[in-house]
Structure 1
Amino acid sequence: MKVAVAYKPGEPLVLEDLPVPEVGPRDVLVRVAASGICHTDLTSINRAERDTPLVPGHEACGTVEAVGADVRRVRPGDRVLASVSPACGSCWWCVNEMSNHCERGATRMVPRFDLPDGRRAPALCGCGSFAEAMVVDEAGVVAVETDLPDEQLALLGCGVTTGLGAALNTARVQPGSSVAVIGCGGVGQSVVQGARIAGAATIVAVDLSADRRAAALSAGATHGVDPGDGDPVEQIRALTKGRGVDHSFEAVGLPQLMVQAFDMARAEGTVTYIGMPPSRDAELTLPAISAIFSGKRIQGSVVGGSQILRDFPRFIRLAESGRLDLASMVTRRISLDDVNEGLHLLEQGEGVRTVIS
């Protein structure tokens, strides 16, 4: 089968003809119908400290073709949504409604693909959806019943769930509140939609790309801020009578933008960090006095605090009802053969989401 392999950091993916990975007792073989290209894919491909080949792709949906002997959650023929975060449903984290920290997380980097040179490559986040088929632990898939198109459904596997969940689960945006979102790619657009669904009165989209600001305005943002026009923190304060916003979100992963998100939040406001940093060594430095005496709450958001067994069906219902607009987020459709073009578009900040289908 055709598989896109990342051999060396920063180099184009190589399309290989590889055997279908072995299906273990707790594994599920999924024929990939659609896979979004997420910024986490790009970060993982380019991560300098990566020293082994990798099969990227983790935002996907498809159909179950085979299951291992111990699999109970799904069966052949099921339409499934893959998750960047597995949820076994029975460990301490899952039972205590923190399945985004499930003990089965170790399955994310299990070697799955046998390469021509004899090495074995892990699948990113336990998925490896830049392939015609993938083998995942059963904890990483959820059976779904919906008529949503594959290209839209796939987005719920990571980007939409991460952004929507950050607004609804992690920050718990309240009706009438004010929100600023730094970075309006797939995750940021989903934060915007989550804030709209929650009833926020002011939603400010901050991005250098005019197209992405326009997309955010169509998705529910009330204002767009171009950092190229001046200090975005001052622009946010000008829109909020000098106070800053109730909720700020950083959806890029750059420490300097994380500082801006902190500065954009009002006293006693909430700062939520979502973006994937470019390296494990990246550090965030904040002024200690302000961090204490502003009373601001600073929090990370892992997969939007989402519990996939609960939230995948919930978010699907929001999309089916029209309250969550997935169609507008798909700005480009490509084949697996064009995966490097899709990654280039993401690197250039073009469009919201490119989907391989």
Structure 2
Amino acid sequence: MQSYHVDENGFYGEFGGAYIPEMLYPNVEELRTSYLEIMYSEDFQEEFRNLLRDYVGRPTPLYYAKRLSERFGCKIYLKREDLCHTGAHKVNNTIGQILLAKKLGKKRIIAETGAGQHGVATATVCALMGLPCVVYMGEVDIARQAPNVARMKMLGAEVRAAVSGSRTLKDATNEAIRDWINNPVDTHYIIGSVVGPHPYPDMVARFQAVISEEIQLQLEEAEGRPAPDYLIACVGGGSNAAGTYYHYLDQPEVGIIAVEAAGKGIDTGASAATSALGKVGVIHASKTLLMQTQDGQITEPYSISAGLDYPGVGPMHANLYTSGRAEFISITDDEAMLAGRQLAELEGIIPAIETSHAFAVLEKRPFKPEEVVVINLSGRGDKDLQTYIDYFKLT
């Protein structure tokens, strides 16, 4: 049977690998040869699980959304990653990676961030563990995610602006990789999504897999079965989605729906819908689907959401798309914003705009009354309140 997990060479089908400059080879090779042994050692697992429970607040609830279910005529459960410490799923991965970095003897942490949630989660665990932290963030994102920038600085991190290109997530990642090349010995790069050279996509997916691990147990209790009919998650790089799908990847009876940002529309030139617009290419040391011009130059992505405007997608998701295992749906800014407001008014939960894209699928795709649909509510909307205020003219 075909598996949708990574193979021994770091590939998901044709996607993945480690296309790295020679300067980074020792770092990446050190990770590749040691990550599984460290991650699954007894002492690592004990410390990781204890921190997830006592510091992050796991397990997060699987909440039956009664009014939303009535509105859309099916059984909708929300996996409440917005209730994690720091307000999103990102901290599951940063806890794991900082423990890994300490085992490897690293003394300094760098990260990239778009919406700022991964930056906050990285700054949080660096404060927890007493390690210096530098977060790279696009200049555009620094302006539109000011609350998260303030949180990072409050936590003791240095926030460095990326001022090249579109000055968003792609460019912040470029700057972080440059830093890592210049500081290869003492620095660990905590990548925030299932992107980058192998073993990062697999490593991040495994840390985030606590999400689907919990869904199995919680659905068994709520519905008498561990598997839903459908899983829905938003996808930029795709870490919350990878964590949601992980334990169900090789169960073909479970439908997987990945939701991308169409921005102002797929054909407008202002979009981040990689599945619709991407071609095979290499970005940030991984072979994947990538928005690019005829001569291979990266196309600047756009989304109202700072966490989804990435020109590529993680190799796991590229394989899920090309193999047909997952259904990819593109959602515009307007559709996402309306879905976010609807969730607030029906369930009293204001989601991150990234997450709102996942909820917009409910308007586009019908489900049957008996079908169980689990949506990853990947982050809360505090950081996006100004965008909501401006969009809906709430002042």
* TMscore range, shorter length: 0.3 to 0.5
Q: TM-score if structure 1 supplies the norm length?
A: 0.34
Determine which structure has the larger helix proportion and give its number.
Answer: 2
Determine which structure has the larger strand proportion and give its number.
Answer: 1
Q: TM-score if structure 2 supplies the norm length?
A: 0.31
Q: Which has the higher contact order (CA 8 A, sep 6+)?
A: 2
